Amino acid sequence: MDFKSSDAIRGPRTEDHLPHTAQAAVKIVIVGGFGVGKTTMVGSVSEIRPLTTEETMTQMGIGVDDNYGSESKTATTVAMDFGRISITEQLVLYLFGTPGQERFWFLWNGLFEGALGAVVLIDTRRLEVSFDVIGRLEERGVPFVIAVNDFPDAPRYPVEDLRGALDLTEDIPIVKCDARRRASSREVLMTLMHFLHSLAVSKTSV
Ligand SMILES: Nc1nc2c(ncn2[C@@H]2O[C@H](COP(=O)(O)OP(=O)(O)O)[C@@H](O)[C@H]2O)c(=O)[nH]1
Ligand SMILES: [Mg+2]
């Protein structure tokens, strides 16, 4: 059989290989409601071709997936996104994007195993999904930062108002981001890494 013309078979992209300098790999979960930008964020920062399991939204999702504000969205992630980013030559993050809706919570058990921290992506038009997600992260003791995805028609609240609305303590970082921009998404991940580092330092100094 002649495979030469097949574009389904390709060699690996060079960046699919881990840099040989990598010494530590950290698992990070990106979680949030439907249409909040998880797939976009993993896609914008990942240095490998991101793996994503999008499936066209079916009748089943209607009335269940509240897509207020994302009316043009026709696909919803049924399982997860996966990507990878090297933060330094030594440190590599593995990113797992997962839905926040209650009917996907069964995925959380395996997905959060070994995860060092999480990014909670929020859309200020639909904060209620975030309440559930944050509650579950707190139950599991997974440290997290909040990234407010800056949708053009979303109301803009001062950070301290959001902190109050989400009932978050002072130490939890809240940052604004544009998940479509690599630099912005990377900044969110750096915020999480700094936060995790500060938690580790405060634990060892007790
Ligand atoms: N304006 C704006 N749109 C975004 C941003 N992030 C994602 N989107 C758009 O919002 C829609 C939903 O994003 P998606 O990543 O699929 O959401 P997911 O369900 O959380 O994976 C897509 O059409 C994105 O292009 C952002 O930061 N700003
Ligand atoms: Mg998605």
State the average pLDDT over residues 171-184: 97
Q: Say whether pLDDT at 10 is over 50.
A: no
Q: For ligand 1, is residue 178 a contact (CB within 6 Å)?
A: yes
Tell whether 11 is covered by a domain. Answer: no
Among the ranges given (67-81, 125-139, 169-183), the one the predictor scored with the smallest mean pLDDT: 67-81
State the average pLDDT over residues 165-189: 97
Q: Say whether pLDDT at 38 is over 60.
A: yes
Q: Which one of the ligands is nearest to 36 CA?
A: 1
CB neighbours of residue 140 within 10 Å: 13
Angstrom distance (rounded) from CA 103 to CA 100: 8
pLDDT at res. 108 = 82
Share the mean pLDDT of the chain: 83
Tell whether 92 is covered by a domain. Answer: yes
Helix (H/G/I), strand (E/B), else coil: 117: strand
Among the ranges given (19-28, 36-45, 136-145, 154-163), the one the predictor scored with the smallest mean pLDDT: 19-28
Atom in ligand 1 nearest the alpha carbon of residue 76: 19
Ligand 2 centroid–CA 166 distance in Å is 23
- Identity of the residue numbered 204: T
Q: What is the CATH number of the domain that holds 57?
A: 3.40.50.300
Residue of minimum CA distance from atom 14 in ligand 1: 37
Edge to edge, what strands does the sheet with 75-86 contain? Answer: 51-56, 75-86, 91-99, 24-32, 115-122, 144-149, 174-177
Mutation pick for ligand 1 pocket among 31, 40, 71 (CB with most ligand atoms within 8 Å): 40
* pLDDT > 70: percent of the chain: 79
Domain with 105 in it:
20-204
Q: For ligand 1, is residue 122 a contact (CB within 6 Å)?
A: no
Per-residue pLDDT tens digits for 110-157: 888 899 999 999 999 999 889 989 999 999 999 999 999 989 999 999
Per-residue pLDDT tens digits for 92-109: 999 999 888 777 777 788
pLDDT band at 75 (very low <50, low <70, confident <90, very high): low
Tell whether 102 is covered by a domain. Answer: yes
Q: Say whether pLDDT at 2 is over 50.
A: no
Tell whether 1 is covered by a domain. Answer: no
Atom in ligand 1 nearest the alpha carbon of residue 40: 15
For residue 172, which phi and psi values (nearest 5 degrees)? -80, 120
Tell whether 5 is covered by a domain. Answer: no
Residue of minimum CA distance from atom 1 in ligand 1: 151
Q: How many domains does the chain fold into?
A: 1
pLDDT at res. 72 = 53
Q: Which one of the ligands is nearest to 51 CA?
A: 2
Q: Say whether pLDDT at 37 is over 70.
A: yes
Return the sign of the alpha-carbon dihedral for residues 99, 145, 124, 39: negative
Tell whether 144 is covered by a domain. Answer: yes
Q: For ligand 1, is residue 37 a contact (CB within 6 Å)?
A: yes
DSSP 8-state class, residue 19: P
Tell whether 15 is covered by a domain. Answer: no
Per-residue pLDDT tens digits for 14-23: 566 777 888 8
